[in-house]
Amino acid sequence: MAVSGLGSGARCHRRGKRAVKYLDRVDLFDGLSDEQAEVLRGRSRIRSFAPNTIVVNEGDDGSSLFVVQSGSLKVFLTDNIGREVTLSLLDPGDYFGELALLDDAPRSASVIALSRSEVLQIPRVAFLALIEAYPACMQIVVRNLVGRIRTLTESVRALALVDVFGRISRLFDSLAVEEDGVAIIDRRLTQQDLANMVGASREMVNRILRDMVSGGYVEIEPQRIILRKKLPEHW
C-alpha cells in the first residue's frame, strides 16, 4: 500500500495526512517543516504485519526507517544459544531502524510484531532526497540523533551500574501511564519478559516482584501491572 502523495483519491489523502502526523511525533525529524516532511512522506509506504511476524532480522541489509502507526512491537537481540535480550517495546509514534538512513551496515537488532501492527516505512532514498532538497536538514537530523544516542548511553549505564531492583523500577516508570491518578502498565509482561528487558535472571525478577507485591507497591494482573505507590530508591 504505497503512500506516495500522488493519488487524487480521498483514501490516498487520508493515508498521507496520517503519515505526516506520525512524522511529527518522531523526534529524529523534530524541527522539519510540513513541506520538508512531505518529501519523506511522498516516498514512504504503509506496511502491515500479523502478530509474531518478524519485521526485520538482526544482520539483514538495512535501508529504511520504520515509524509505528498502530499495534506494538519488540526490539530484541539473541545469541547463538537462543538467549534473548529485549532492548525496547514500541508503540504508535515510536520508530526504529534510523541508522539505516545514514549507513549501509546490517541491522543491529531484530524487531517482531507483538500484535497486528502497521508501520510507515521511510526508505533511505527518501531521506537522501530530503537532504538534497534541503541541505540544512542534515544539521537538524544529526542534532536529534545525538540526543537519541545520549538516551541509549543512559540505558547502558543503568545496565552496568544499577542493581536489578533499580532497573525494574526504572522500567516500570518508563512504561507506566497515569489513569485516574494511578500509574498503570497496560500490557501483558511475563517474568521472562521483564528479565529479558532488565538483563537479569527470571528467578531474580520473581523474587523482587514478590517483595514488591508483599510490600503493597505493585499489583500484578494477567494483562497489566498497577503501581500502587512510589517505589523506594533502594531495596
Domains of the chain: residue spans and CATH: 2-160 (2.60.120.10), 163-227 (1.10.10.10)
Per the rule left: phi > 0, alpha: psi between -120 and 50, beta: everything else, 151 is: alpha
Contact 67, 23 (CB under 8 A): yes
Give buried/exposed letters for 73-102 (b at 16+ CB in 10 A, else e). Answer: bbbbeeeeeeeebbbbbbeeebbbbbebbe
DSSP annotation of 105 reads P
Instruction: Give the C-alpha distances (Å, rounded to integers) separating 132 from 28, 127, 129, 145.
Output: 18, 9, 5, 19
Q: Tell me the whole-structure pTM to 2 decimals.
A: 0.77
Contact 126, 39 (CB under 8 A): yes
Contact 74, 112 (CB under 8 A): yes
Residue 199's beta-bridge partner residues?
none
Q: How would you write the pLDDT of the chain (235 residues) with one tens digit per residue?
A: 323 232 323 333 334 444 445 677 777 888 888 889 888 888 999 999 999 999 999 999 889 999 999 999 999 999 888 888 998 999 988 899 988 888 888 999 999 999 999 999 999 999 999 999 999 998 888 888 888 788 777 777 777 778 999 999 999 998 999 998 899 999 989 999 999 999 899 999 999 999 999 999 999 998 999 999 988 877 7
Which of 88, 84, 86, 93 is closest to 66 using CA atoms?
93
